[in-house]
Amino acid sequence: MRMLTSFLIGIASLAPTWPGFQHVHAASVAAAASAAPVASTTVAATGKPIYLSLDLDMNGLMYRKIRSEGKVWYDPTVFAYLEQRKVPATFFVSGLFAVAYPELIQNLASSSQFAFENHSYDESSFIPHCYWLRTLTTDKEKIRQVEDTEQILKKETGQTAALFRFPGACTNAQNDALIRSLGYTVNDGTDISGDPFNKDTSAIVRAVLAQAAPGATILMHVGGPNAPRSLAVLEQVVPKLEAQGYRFEKL
């Protein structure tokens, strides 16, 4: 785990040379890494299970901004916080995110604390009118998105995904059946934080706590410009849920 923390601090130390990397700094990562950990394992093994899942999203426009502007689409302090608090988490990874950040995925996968699942390839929607996402129109396109990500995850993590999350959580019965035919179980979360493009920390915290229940899957994101309050939310909901007798587990 020390290797992962060192890697995250190293990423943040590049901030001055990466245009657009203004949402996190090396000092904040170092502070998160050096904070005294309060382990989730202090909760009794008989506690109520709850599952923290975080989406690692990436579409074509985001990927191009990495290349052209040095944009960074995650917050390293989110990972550092989870590591120090010893909170197990499951990452639903867009294949293009892993293409953009292979070293990050490899370092996260070096810890048994984290699991990795399939979030399709480039945030294209499986149904029309899903936010502003591009729509896939054929089963062949959809299968390709899933299978390409499957191969990338196996290569970068050594894990085989068993769960699938639709981009935008947009689906229908036909798409659910298609995903099942590929051997996956659909998991679009049951405790929806609403953290994308949301700067109201208190509202996000209230939403997570209000929907919490034994066996619930919390759906959040890994910070960055598209989810600027994710770390602040985790810093509140993790200790509050632990105090209520919940124990975090991987899916």
pLDDT 10s digits, 11-54: 544 443 333 333 333 434 444 444 444 444 444 456 899 999 99
- Regions of the chain short of the pLDDT cut 50: 3, 9, 12-44
* Residue 176 maps to a domain: yes
Full domain range(s) for residue 103? 2-35+48-249
Residue 47 has what pLDDT? 83
Sequence-ordered list of residues with C-beta below 8 angstroms from that of 156, at least 6 positions apart, any chain = 98, 102, 105, 106, 109
* Residue 69 maps to a domain: yes
* Residue 40 maps to a domain: no
The percentage of residues in the chain with a pLDDT greater than 90, rounded to a whole number, is 81
User: 91: helix, coil or strand?
Assistant: strand
* Residue 42 maps to a domain: no
* Residue 43 maps to a domain: no
Amino acid (1-letter code) at residue 79 = F
What one-character-per-residue DSSP string does 168-234 give? Answer: GG---HHHHHHHHHTT-EE---SEE---TT---HHHHHHHHHHH--TT-EEEEE--STTSTTHHHHH
* Residue 149 maps to a domain: yes
Residue 165: give its domain's CATH number. 3.20.20.370
What does DSSP assign to residue 125?
B
Nearest CA-CA partner of 33 in 76, 74, 75, 80: 80
* Residue 41 maps to a domain: no
Count the domains in the chain.
1
Residue 24 has what pLDDT? 35
Residue 28 has what pLDDT? 41
* Residue 132 maps to a domain: yes
